[in-house]
């Protein structure tokens, strides 16, 4: 009962830090190799965790195929799109708003609300990366609810990572963007993203989807942009004006109305 009560708030907090961690790490690594190494390592950790807890690792070809399909949309498309957009200079707050709301129209509103100015290259990153991320996250949510509910959570997530990590690795090789500079700042961001996001937040998201409605869980993503905007303001100086704080209040009210059933 305690987990069910606090899990939504914990998920929003953890998920919002993913944009911040990516923003910290991307100056030191190309986006696709960064993400590929991150989630492949997370796959190994989850396989080891499943072994340690004596949970099934061999889940059958059908379950593995389903997990790979969900992982492709959730990690390769959604996270790949987000990382690419951030690497092109898109502010973390704007990226969080757009991926959680609607594509082009809302992105323009978010630029105004958050007081950000985008260059042509950043706009291109928005259309390419964020639209792919939107399609990926939406499709993954529906697939997880439809196909993934009966797959063991830890091993299923590990296979999601294994498949999508390989896809992202191929993309990084194809684009010849394989550079990583292991500085202290990058290592700290990398460890946070692997342990807190790729293990903690993802397992929490999939648990929420398996135990609740897709609509309710999806509504939590509307709270991620306000949390990310506040974090980005404190850490990077990305400004949030009066309209932005008003939007935070309205968003929180809307999600509360959905979650209360």
- The DSSP secondary structure of 138-185, one letter per residue, reads HHHHHHHHHHSTTS-HHHHHHHHHHHHHHHHHHHHHHTT---B---HH
Q: Given the structure tokens 């708030």, which residue do they identify?
A: 9
In angstroms, the CA 168 to CA 172 distance is: 6
CA distances, 17 to each of 162, 225, 259 (Å):
23, 10, 22
Query: Per-residue DSSP letters for 173-225?
Result: HHTT---B---HHHHHHHHHIIIIIIIIIHHHHHHHHHHS-HHHHHHGGGGHH
In angstroms, the CA 38 to CA 177 distance is: 15
Q: Give the three-class secondary structure for 60.
A: coil
Total-model pTM:
0.72
Domain ranges in the chain?
Answer: 2-259
Dmax (CA) of the chain: 53
DSSP symbol at 87: H
How many Å from the N-terminal Cα to the C-terminal Cα in the chain?
17
In angstroms, the CA 126 to CA 122 distance is: 6
In angstroms, the CA 99 to CA 106 distance is: 10
Residue 33 has a pLDDT of 95
Q: Extract long-range pairs of 179-186: CB within 8 Å, 24+ residues apart.
A: 179/29, 179/30, 179/33, 180/28, 180/29, 180/30, 180/33, 180/34, 180/37, 181/28, 181/29, 182/28, 183/28, 185/24, 185/25, 185/28, 186/24, 186/25, 186/27, 186/28, 186/29
CA-based angle 51:52:53, to the nearest 5? 90
Residue 154 has a pLDDT of 84
State the CB neighbour count (10 A cutoff) for residue 92: 28
In angstroms, the CA 105 to CA 172 distance is: 30
150: its two tokens: 């009966």
Residue-wise pLDDT tens for the chain (261 aa)? 466 678 888 888 888 888 888 888 999 999 999 999 999 999 999 999 888 888 888 888 888 888 888 888 878 888 888 888 888 877 777 677 666 654 344 444 445 544 555 566 655 655 555 566 556 666 766 666 666 667 777 888 899 899 999 999 999 999 898 999 999 999 999 999 999 988 888 888 778 877 766 666 766 776 777 788 778 878 877 766 666 566 666 655 665 565 555
Q: Which of 62, 61, 84, 57 is nearest to 168 (CA)?
A: 84
């Amino acid at each position: 009962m305690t987990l069910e009560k606090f899990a939504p708030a914990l998920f929003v907090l953890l998920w919002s830090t993913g944009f911040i961690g990516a923003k910290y790490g991307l100056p030191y690594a190309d986006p696709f190799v960064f993400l590929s190494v991150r989630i492949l390592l997370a796959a190994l950790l989850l396989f080891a965790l499943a072994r340690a807890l004596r949970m099934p690792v061999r889940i059958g070809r059908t379950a593995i195929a389903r997990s790979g399909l969900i992982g492709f949309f959730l990690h390769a498309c959604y996270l790949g799109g987000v990382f690419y957009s951030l690497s092109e200079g898109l502010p973390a707050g704007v990226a969080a708003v757009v991926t959680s709301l609607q594509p082009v129209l809302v992105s323009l509103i978010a630029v105004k609300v958050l007081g950000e100015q985008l260059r042509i290259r950043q706009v291109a990153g928005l259309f390419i990366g964020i639209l792919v991320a939107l399609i990926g996250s939406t499709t993954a949510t529906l697939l997880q609810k439809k196909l993934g509910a009966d797959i063991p959570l830890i091993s299923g997530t590990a296979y999601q990572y294994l498949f999508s990590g390989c896809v992202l690795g191929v993309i990084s090789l194809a684009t010849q963007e394989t550079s990583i500079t292991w500085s202290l700042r990058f290592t700290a961001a990398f460890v946070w993203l692997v342990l807190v996001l790729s293990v903690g937040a993802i397992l929490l998201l999939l648990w929420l989807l398996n135990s609740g409605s897709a609509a309710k869980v999806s509504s939590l993503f509307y709270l991620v942009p306000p949390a990310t905007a506040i974090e980005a303001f404190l850490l990077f100086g990305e400004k949030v004006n009066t309209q932005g704080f008003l939007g935070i209040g309205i968003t929180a009210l809307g999600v509360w109305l959905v979650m209360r059933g």
